Chains A and B, each alone.
Chain A
Amino acid sequence: MSERKGRSRVLQATKKIGELILEYFAKASDHKARGKPVAWVTVFTPVELLHALSVFPVAPEHFGAMCSARNFIMEYLEEAEKRGYSQNLCSYSRCCLGYALSGMSGLMPPPDILITFRNSCDVYVKWWQSLQAHLGTPLFVGEAPYVLAPEDLENYVLDYVVKQLMDLIEIVEEKFKLKFDEEKLVEAVKLSDKASELWLEALKLRSNKPCPLGGRDSASDIFPLVIMQGTVEAVQFYEELLREVRGKVEKREGVIENEKYRLLFDGIWLWYAFDLIKYFEDKGAVFVYEPYSEAWAYRLDASKPLESVAKKVLAMGLNMDIDLRVEKFLKSIKEFDIDGAVLFSNRSCKSWSAPQLVTAEIIGSKYDVPYLIFEADMADPRQYAEAQIKNRIDAFIEVLRERSCTRE
């Protein structure tokens, strides 16, 4: 079943995300209240290991996105800025630092340990170091080296990550007097793998016309994979979602009634501006592929849990060589029959945004796909020039319209 919102439809599964988030934070607080450790982790940290150690992972990046989407991020941003953190720094980090500096009395329980693996950006290291300086909490900094050739991953790179995972296990065991449970790791790996499989299957169905799962859904529905990997709840969520998406495909029910343009979106979504997705949809444009949505899913091999998890830490999309990222783009253009690409130049994410223009040039020259680049911030609404961005979207849609007329 789907609900009409103007001309757009949002999955039933998507509507349950808010409740799932609240339950998740309640579980984190309960875990802490029972005297068990809570870890603040960057999002591509292998949480399966933490499940096997009975450490509850919480992701401040996700918290930042949620604060922005629910319109209470400003108090935290301002707190961090008051303390000296520049507005030019990542807004997730400013939100988190502001939260940490203002007493941590909200949904996210205070951390007992800070864990990061540098993979998608280098800011992780500086952010987590800053948290440690303010909170005095133990810090673990891991490193997933940039993957230059995944099909030919050097043994010493994989060994390096595996050994760091072993170090992490040892540190947590010692610090919190906990015992690592290998069976729990295998179970968590199986559950993560299943959730990834289901989500990838749902994303694949977006190649159908009309597209059954839109940008509003994909932006929200990644949440269980962002932080609830290795849990039964995440698997149940994606099972339900996949059933619903399959049903839509069978009924040929799309995100909008008259799908004219199929778009690729490159970037993290602007959490305070979901209405921008509807703005596209009102013009007949649907997002059918985002590297960001896909990045959260990774197939794991439960027979080699530690090695498999290490490969996952390495394989985070932005940690893959540019040729691979471009190849994925080009493949998606064919697979999803994409008419245009929208690239969000995100002031907070220099790692993502820096090579975007070069990527866009390659897409444009290889497939003659028009692209739009616009600048804003993923979580800080002060960096959002709505009228100007909508003006650029209008012009972009015009280009798509003219091209479709020419083709006809």
Chain B
Amino acid sequence: MTPSVDNETLVKNPIKLLQIYKDSGVNVMGYTCSYIPEELIISAGFQPFRIPNYGSTFSSLTPTFICQFARTTLENILKLEEFFSGFVFAHTCDPMWRLYDIIKKKVGKPVFFIRVPHNTDGILQISFLKQELLRFKDFLAENLGAKIDFEALLKAIKICNENRSLLKEIYLRNGDGAFGVNGLDRLKFAIASMWMPKEEVNAQIKTFLSKIGDVKENYVRLHINGTAIFDLELIKMIEDVGCFIASDDLCTGSRYFWDNVANVHQDPFYALAERYLQRTPCPSHGPLQKRLAYIESMVEKFRVKGVLILTQRFCDPILYDSVHVRDMLSKKQVPTMLIDYENFEQEAGRIKARVEAFVESIGG
């Protein structure tokens, strides 16, 4: 079954899609993080659906100094539990780790936790993650009766690789200073890829790629550094003040799709572990230098004039990294601005004023 929802409608109202899945008898597995292999969820016969921080209702089950992303994700899981067969979490940062604890005590559906090594460097770590993925496979079989066979897994890896390649292709249209696809359109497809059947979203991306024309030029090219952004209005607002988001290292952006799974036929579980551990790193994982090098390469490749660091207030990994991201970029004479926010809807005016000032200061 492939529910037909255009991604414009989808990203504004993901619950509509969940309802379609429910009405059509599609089993949906909720997941919280781009370190969770969608391939395993798909090959077990589930539709993966990344839980967004959609809406602005924070859970009161955690203190106010836990980031908005975790609190809203928690609230959404509790509200939308009926649409899901189960949930899978990954160990990234403290709040997402503890979300697993809370959800385990608060929902009736099966809940799984993948312990993703924070040190992503070596074979030891990849082998450990492989064991975790095998444990996830067993969990799916034991708790949901979902068996993963070899062929189904290879097929899922192939379709996810295709999806990632297509998303990257859209992205690369902005390479070397081109004004190919703006941040808003790119984000819509990335989010749709986390919610819709891959076949369908892949077809939509191919159609889109065949129709790309020139977009606005002479706008200030920016790179966005941050975590997971599901709020399209935020991206739209930035681009409406005269910017072109040429690149990003967001969890809902390039970090989600930049790297593919390779060497699948030798040992697909090891191949998955290798891809997910050694992918473009999240601020919570891997060596800081690898992350800085990635941001530096994006800034150069996409010829941006400035970098906006967008962080959820109380997001520890981004707040630590921001000091070093700024150090690195200031040596390259790339201006940066850090904007932390808790509730975009309530803080839109302040954020807009800061972005406008930043764009003016760098010659927009």
Nearest CB to that of B135 among chain A residues? A154
State whether the Cβ of A107 lies closer than 8 Å to any Cβ in chain B: no
Looking at the assembled complex, report how far the CB atom of B302 sits from the nearest CB atom of chain A, in whole angstroms: 25
State whether the Cβ of A311 lies closer than 8 Å to any Cβ in chain B: no
State whether the Cβ of A356 lies closer than 8 Å to any Cβ in chain B: yes
Contact of A84 among B64, B94, B287, B323 (CB under 8 A): B323
| Given A156-B128, A354-B70, A354-B99, 15 other A-B residues pairs in contact with their CB atoms under 8 A | A83-B323, A88-B313, A125-B284, A130-B324, A141-B119, A143-B117, A143-B125, A145-B117, A160-B124, A353-B62, A353-B65, A354-B63, A355-B62, A356-B63, A375-B63
Interface size class of A (residues with CB under 8 A): 35 or more
User: Which residues of B (237-291) have their CB < 8 Å from a CB of A?
Assistant: 283-284, 287-288
Contact of A122 among B94, B102, B113 (CB under 8 A): B94
6 tightest Cβ-Cβ pairs between the two chains A and B: A354-B98, A126-B320, A322-B101, A145-B115, A351-B94, A84-B323
State whether the Cβ of B294 lies closer than 8 Å to any Cβ in chain A: no
State whether the Cβ of A37 lies closer than 8 Å to any Cβ in chain B: no
Cβ contacts under 8 Å, B118 to chain A:
118, 122, 125, 141, 143
18 A-B pairs whose Cβ atoms sit less than 8 Å apart in the complex: A83-B323, A89-B319, A89-B320, A125-B119, A126-B321, A129-B287, A130-B323, A133-B288, A146-B115, A160-B128, A322-B101, A345-B63, A350-B95, A354-B99, A355-B102, A358-B101, A358-B102, A362-B105
A126-153 interface bits toward B, Cβ cutoff 8 Å, 1 = contact, 0 = none: 1101101100000001110110100000
CA distance A141 to B283 in the complex (A): 15
User: Which residues of A (264-301) have their CB < 8 Å from a CB of B?
Assistant: none
User: Which residues of A (108-127) have their CB < 8 Å from a CB of B?
Assistant: 118, 121-123, 125-127
CA distance A84 to B321 in the complex (A): 10
CA distance A129 to B287 in the complex (A): 8
The answer on a CB contact under 8 Å between B119 and A351 is no
CA distance A351 to B92 in the complex (A): 12
A122-B314 contact given A89-B320, A322-B105, CB 8 Å threshold: no
Looking at the assembled complex, report how far the CB atom of B106 sits from the nearest CB atom of chain A, in whole angstroms: 7
Nearest CB to that of A351 among chain B residues? B94
CA distance A363 to B135 in the complex (A): 31
Which of A83, A132, A353, A375 has the most chain B CB atoms inside 10 A of its CB? Answer: A353
A122-B105 contact given A146-B115, A354-B63, A375-B63, CB 8 Å threshold: no
State whether the Cβ of A180 lies closer than 8 Å to any Cβ in chain B: no
Which of B66, B287, B313, B316 has the most chain A CB atoms inside 10 A of its CB? Answer: B316
State whether the Cβ of A104 lies closer than 8 Å to any Cβ in chain B: no
The answer on a CB contact under 8 Å between A86 and B319 is yes
The answer on a CB contact under 8 Å between B62 and A354 is yes
State whether the Cβ of B91 lies closer than 8 Å to any Cβ in chain A: yes
Looking at the assembled complex, report how far the CB atom of A199 sits from the nearest CB atom of chain B, in whole angstroms: 27
What number of residue pairs across chains A and B have CB atoms under 8 A from each other?
130
CA distance A343 to B288 in the complex (A): 34
CA distance A350 to B319 in the complex (A): 14
CA distance A146 to B118 in the complex (A): 12
Looking at the assembled complex, report how far the CB atom of A402 sits from the nearest CB atom of chain B, in whole angstroms: 26
Cβ contacts under 8 Å, A129 to chain B:
287-288, 320
State whether the Cβ of A347 lies closer than 8 Å to any Cβ in chain B: yes
CA distance A358 to B100 in the complex (A): 12
Nearest CB to that of B287 among chain A residues? A129
CA distance A167 to B106 in the complex (A): 39
State whether the Cβ of A357 lies closer than 8 Å to any Cβ in chain B: yes
Nearest CB to that of A118 among chain B residues? B118
Nearest CB to that of A383 among chain B residues? B65
The answer on a CB contact under 8 Å between A357 and B66 is no
Contact of A350 among B94, B131, B284 (CB under 8 A): B94
CA distance A143 to B284 in the complex (A): 13
B interface with A by C-beta (< 8 Å): 61-66, 70, 91-95, 97-99, 101-102, 104-106, 113, 115, 117-119, 124-125, 128, 131, 135, 283-284, 287-288, 313-314, 316-317, 319-324, 326-327, 340
CA distance A88 to B313 in the complex (A): 8
Cβ contacts under 8 Å, A358 to chain B:
61, 101-102, 105-106
Looking at the assembled complex, report how far the CB atom of B205 sits from the nearest CB atom of chain A, in whole angstroms: 34
Looking at the assembled complex, report how far the CB atom of B2 sits from the nearest CB atom of chain A, in whole angstroms: 36
Contact of B94 among A142, A163, A354 (CB under 8 A): A354
The answer on a CB contact under 8 Å between B93 and A156 is no
A338-369 interface bits toward B, Cβ cutoff 8 Å, 1 = contact, 0 = none: 00000001010011011111100010000000
Cβ contacts under 8 Å, B104 to chain A:
322-323
Looking at the assembled complex, report how far the CB atom of B187 sits from the nearest CB atom of chain A, in whole angstroms: 26
Cβ contacts under 8 Å, A95 to chain B:
none
The answer on a CB contact under 8 Å between B95 and A354 is yes
Cβ contacts under 8 Å, A160 to chain B:
124, 128
State whether the Cβ of A241 lies closer than 8 Å to any Cβ in chain B: no
Nearest CB to that of A350 among chain B residues? B94
Looking at the assembled complex, report how far the CB atom of B131 sits from the nearest CB atom of chain A, in whole angstroms: 5
Looking at the assembled complex, report how far the CB atom of A205 sits from the nearest CB atom of chain B, in whole angstroms: 31
A145-B128 contact given A322-B105, A375-B63, CB 8 Å threshold: yes
State whether the Cβ of A85 lies closer than 8 Å to any Cβ in chain B: yes
Cβ contacts under 8 Å, A83 to chain B:
323
